[in-house]
Amino acid sequence: MFDRVIRRIAPVWPLDSFVAVNPYWGFADQTFAEAAAHLQGSVGERVIMDRRWYADLLKNGKLMMADILQASSDLGVDLDEYGWRAYLREPSELPMRLPRIPELMDRPGHPAVSQYVVEQISRFLAAYYDRGQSLWSFPKDPAVGLFGSWRQYTLLDRTLRAMGLKHLRSELLTVSSNAASARQWALETLAIAQPAEEDYLLVLLKSIGGWASWCRYLLWQAELQGSTNADLLDLLTIRMVWEGLLRKTADARVLERWRRQIHAWTIDDKGVDLEDARRGEVLLRASEIAYRRQVAASIRRQPAKKNRAPLIQAAFCIDVRSEVFRRHLESVMPELDTIGFAGFFGVLLDYQRNGDYAPRTQTPVLLNPQVHVTEDAPGDAIQRRFRRLRRAAEWKHFKLSAASCFSFVETAGITYVGRLLADTMGWHRPSVHPDEAGLSPEERANLRCVLPKSLTLEQRIGMAEFILTGLGLNRGVAPIVLLAGHGSSNTNNPHRAGLDCGACAGQTGEVNAKAAADLLNDPAVRKGLVEKGWNIDPRCCFLPALHDTTTDRVEILGGLDNPKLDTGLVAELQAALDKAANLTRLERMLRLEPDLRDPETVARNMEQRGRDWSQVRPEWALAGNAAFIAAPRWRTREMNLAGRAFLHDYDIEKDPDFGVLTLIMTAPLVVANWINLQYYGSIVDNQRQGCGNKVLHNVVGGTIGVLEGNGGDLRIGLSEQSLRDSNSELQHEPLRLTAFIEAPTDAMDRIIANNDALGRLVNNRWLSVVQIAADGSLRERRSEGRWVSI
Nearest-angstrom CA–CA distance, 57 and 287: 9
Q: How many CA atoms lie within 13 A of 458 on its CB side?
A: 0
Cα–Cα distances in Å, from 718 out to 104, 323, 591, 668, 695? 30, 22, 18, 21, 13
CA-nearest of 212, 199, 211, 186 to 44 is: 199
Q: Could you tell me if 759 and 29 are in contact, meaning their C-beta atoms sit under 8 angstroms apart?
A: no
One-letter amino acid for residue 550 of the chain: T
Task: Mark the binding-site residues, compressed into ranges.
Answer: 317, 319, 486, 501
Which conformational region is residue 547 in: left (phi greater than 0), alpha (psi within -120 to 50 degrees), or beta? beta
Q: Could you tell me if 680 and 734 are in contact, meaning their C-beta atoms sit under 8 angstroms apart?
A: yes
- Which residue(s) pair with 477 in the sheet? 536
Nearest-angstrom CA–CA distance, 621 and 490: 12
Apex 46 CA angle, 41 and 47, nearest 5: 105
| Distant-in-sequence, close-in-space partners of 58: CB < 8 Å, separation ≥ 6 | 64, 65, 68, 88
One-letter amino acid for residue 764 of the chain: N
CA-nearest of 180, 181, 193, 219 to 8 is: 219
Nearest-angstrom CA–CA distance, 735 and 625: 8
Q: Could you tell me if 535 and 479 are in contact, meaning their C-beta atoms sit under 8 angstroms apart?
A: no
- Write out the DSSP string of 601-658: HHHHHHHHHHH-TT-S-S--TTTT--EEEEE-GGGTTT---TT-EEEEE--GGG-TT-
Q: Exposed/middle/buried for 135, CB within 10 Å: 0-12, 13-18, 19+?
A: exposed
Task: Mark the binding-site residues for Zn(2+), compressed into ranges.
Answer: 317, 319, 486, 501
Q: Could you tell me if 10 and 682 are in contact, meaning their C-beta atoms sit under 8 angstroms apart?
A: no
| Distant-in-sequence, close-in-space partners of 3: CB < 8 Å, separation ≥ 6 | none
Nearest-angstrom CA–CA distance, 113 and 119: 10
Rg (CA), the chain: 28
